[in-house]
Structure 1
Amino acid sequence: MARLPSPALPLRHSRRVITEPDGFGDAVSGIELSVDFQRRQERASQVEQFQSPAWALDFGEANVRTRVRGVLAGGWGSFCFAMGPGEAIWNGEAAAPGTIALLPPGKEVDGRTAADYEWLTAAVPADVWNRCLALAGRQEDGPDRLTVCRLPPSVAERIKLRLQECRALLKGAATPWLMDQVAEAVTDSFTTACELSAGAEPATSSMRNRARLARRAEAWMRDHLAEPVQVPDLCLALHVSRRELEYAFRSVFDQSPRDHLETLRLNAIRRSLLQGDGHRETIIAIAYAHGIHHLGRFSASYRTLFGEKPSETRRR
């Protein structure tokens, strides 16, 4: 489960390197993320987290293209500031550098990140979230789902510098004065994001429809990973044309349906090998169990995505 600030600790500070998809599982406070790699990670990713009972700050760097899903814990609200240079797509909306994605308590985030994606997330308890909405004059029409808004460059720079200053100070002694200063900075940033999100343009209906189709198709893929299904089977099952499906996947996941199905299988196989599942089974048997039936291509594709052979993963 993704870690949340503990009432028993005034401040919890951690920093770690991420080399595996599941290493991103708790990289954002309050959200249990499910992540698959879509391309090979050329250099390690990392995250630094500061968590208190009144707020949480995460500073991360994903040096790999990923597919991301997760749901925010019900008692917390969150925003994600995209610092770039890579960008993301969240719930069908483009989150380019300089944008903030507001995520209400209990709502889902679903999308992808490009390589070299740097983020800054802040999380606050629901009562602080509601207070920020009230300060922004939005207690009646606050966001009821993930909302992406582009910040004016001067505002984006101000928020980034202020929270990065908090990051530097938090590496020292966590004095009551410092904790109050960070809480004020987080609250002010949240309130500004709430104010600006009122004028944010929603994703077009066509983009929302493509995002819904891509997620529905991906769910079907996950349900049939153990079967030797191909993209035509998916099109027939969902009653959509191959062109329509291709356009949806390219727009939302920046992959073809065929490539997306392959990366889902390869990520699932890697998890199985790393967790020691079926340790008495051969790698070939594990591959077959995840719908792989072209073994020569499987080994090459696995090495391209993860930088090592399946046998090397199993030994680790």
Structure 2
Amino acid sequence: MAPLASQKLAVDLIGLDFFDPEAMEEAVQGSQFEHSLDVPGQFHGTVVQARNERTRLDWGRYDLPVIARGPFAPDRMTFGALLNEQGNSLVNGLVLPPGSMLLFREGEELNTRLSPNSNWLTIQLDRQSLAQIGLEPSNRGVDAWRPDVESDRVLRKKILKNARFIESTTHRAREAGLLAANQSINDIEDDVLVVLTRLLGARRVLPVIASHQGKEEALRIVRDAINYMEANIDSPITIAEICAALPTNIKSLERAFLHTYGIGPKQYLSRFRLSNLRRMLLRASGGERVLTEAYLACGLPHFSRAAQGYKHLFGELPSLTLSRAQS
């Protein structure tokens, strides 16, 4: 959908009637995330993106659990909140319940498995805004807070109310509505700055992930393994080959993926290949030859087996996805 704009505000709505990894790449503005669907089913989602002269805000809802990885925007810090009512999410090796809040440094890498019916919001802040209220976060790592006071729950409700209002402006392009939505963005930013002042000041912070030796090592193993998978996506590599290339042992590799995404490396590799196949088919043009080339490009030489795995995960055969892309 084309953005609505006023002098100070632009709002985009991304409606997802099926799992589309490419459309979800910049779910957080200025970032670049790879997405994989974690469980079989018919996927639906929505991402609302708003920005004014000072702030970038993104609000997303996905009905099925999704795995995402990649760097946040390099020019701003990113505050994130898990707004869903139920279900824990994994974020950089931490198990976080609904209501949890996070602060990522500029360009920090995200590794997450979002819970079913996830509801998340990010707002990007520059260090100057934080310095103006006396906050000087460290230059490395991720701070994470679990909700444990009533004010955190009140904040979540206020943020959700303002985010819903911003989304409503995509359905009514009236200038007054856009101006009110712009105020909603400012209100969310003010609330976030207030809560960050309280949380950082009170030091109610879980261990900074980047300095936690065990989690840092697990994230390094996962990062190196996925880089190897990406570099060899057109080859039917094995878990033993990945271990030899890093190098690490199978037990450490298995543990690192379970801590980071809740699934083992073999499951991750399978979802990674199938999600990349879907990405290619949704943007492809051509017939049976294109489908064959896509299978091989994703390291899936057993076409029948790959087609059944694809249908199990996405609810349709690859040929149907290709037909949709060409219609």
TM range (shorter): 0.7 to 0.9
Q: 1:142 to 1:86 in 2, by over 3 A?
A: same
Task: Tell me the CA shift for residue 168 of structure 1.
Answer: 4.9
1:142 aligns with 2:147: no
Using CA pairs under 8 Å that are at least 6 residues apart, name the structure with larger relative contact order, 1 or 2.
Answer: 2
Aligned to 1:167: 163
Match of 1:17 among 15, 18, 36: 15
CA contact (8 A) 1:148 1:200 kept: yes
CA contact (8 A) 1:151 1:196 kept: no
Q: 1:12 to 1:243 in 2, by over 3 A?
A: same
RMSD: 2.8
Task: Tell me the CA shift for residue 263 of structure 1.
Answer: 1.2
TM-score (structure 2 length as normaliser): 0.83
Aligned to 2:38: 38
Task: Tell me the CA shift for residue 229 of structure 1.
Answer: 1.1
Q: Could you say what secondary structure the match of 1:266 adopts?
A: helix
Match of 2:205 among 194, 200, 208: 200
- Greater Cα offset, 149-158 or 215-224: 149-158
Q: 1:15 to 1:180 in 2, by over 3 A?
A: closer
CA contact (8 A) 2:9 2:178 kept: no
Task: Tell me the CA shift for residue 217 of structure 1.
Answer: 0.9
CA contact (8 A) 1:95 1:101 kept: no
| Structure 1 CA distance for aligned equivalents of residues 215 and 181 of structure 2 | 43
Task: Tell me the CA shift for residue 147 of structure 1.
Answer: 1.8
| Structure 2 CA distance for aligned equivalents of residues 169 and 64 of structure 1 | 24
Task: Tell me the CA shift for residue 38 of structure 1.
Answer: 2.3
1:255 aligns with 2:258: no
- Greater Cα offset, 246-255 or 149-158: 149-158
Q: Could you say what secondary structure the match of 2:190 adopts?
A: helix
| Structure 2 CA distance for aligned equivalents of residues 69 and 194 of structure 1 | 28
Match of 1:302 among 276, 298, 310: 310
Aligned to 1:117: 118
Task: Give percent identity, aligned residues only.
Answer: 21
Aligned to 1:291: 299
CA contact (8 A) 1:108 1:146 kept: no
Task: Tell me the CA shift for residue 228 of structure 1.
Answer: 1.9
Structure 1, unpaired ranges of 5+ = none
Task: Tell me the CA shift for residue 153 of structure 1.
Answer: 3.7
Aligned to 1:273: 281
CA contact (8 A) 1:5 1:52 kept: no
Amino acid at match of 2:28: V
Task: Tell me the CA shift for residue 174 of structure 1.
Answer: 4.5
Task: Tell me the CA shift for residue 86 of structure 1.
Answer: 3.2
Aligned to 2:172: none
| Structure 2 CA distance for aligned equivalents of residues 199 and 285 of structure 1 | 52
CA contact (8 A) 1:79 1:190 kept: no
Q: 1:157 to 1:259 in 2, by over 3 A?
A: same
| Structure 2 CA distance for aligned equivalents of residues 273 and 213 of structure 1 | 30
CA contact (8 A) 1:11 1:51 kept: yes
| Structure 2 CA distance for aligned equivalents of residues 112 and 178 of structure 1 | 30
Match of 1:151 among 125, 130, 147: 147
Equivalent residue runs for 1:53-202 within 5 Å:
53-84=53-84, 85-132=86-133, 134=134, 138-139=135-136, 141-142=137-138, 144-170=140-166, 171=168, 173-174=176-177, 179-180=182-183, 182-197=185-200, 198-202=203-207
Structure 2, unpaired ranges of 5+ = 170-175
Deviations 1:77-98 (A, max 9, x none): 2211112323322222333212
CA contact (8 A) 1:50 1:57 kept: yes
Task: Tell me the CA shift for residue 175 of structure 1.
Answer: 7.3
- Greater Cα offset, 34-43 or 214-223: 34-43
Task: Tell me the CA shift for residue 223 of structure 1.
Answer: 1.0
Amino acid at match of 1:147: D
Task: Tell me the CA shift for residue 304 of structure 1.
Answer: 0.9
Task: Tell me the CA shift for residue 241 of structure 1.
Answer: 1.9
Amino acid at match of 2:69: R
CA contact (8 A) 1:10 1:52 kept: yes
Q: 1:4 to 1:214 in 2, by over 3 A?
A: farther
| Structure 1 CA distance for aligned equivalents of residues 177 and 246 of structure 2 | 54
Q: 1:282 to 1:13 in 2, by over 3 A?
A: closer
Aligned to 2:233: 225
| Structure 2 CA distance for aligned equivalents of residues 152 and 111 of structure 1 | 22
Task: Tell me the CA shift for residue 47 of structure 1.
Answer: 2.0
Task: Tell me the CA shift for residue 42 of structure 1.
Answer: 2.8
Q: Could you say what secondary structure the match of 1:161 adopts?
A: helix
CA contact (8 A) 2:284 2:290 kept: no
CA contact (8 A) 1:79 1:122 kept: yes
- Greater Cα offset, 281-290 or 228-237: 281-290
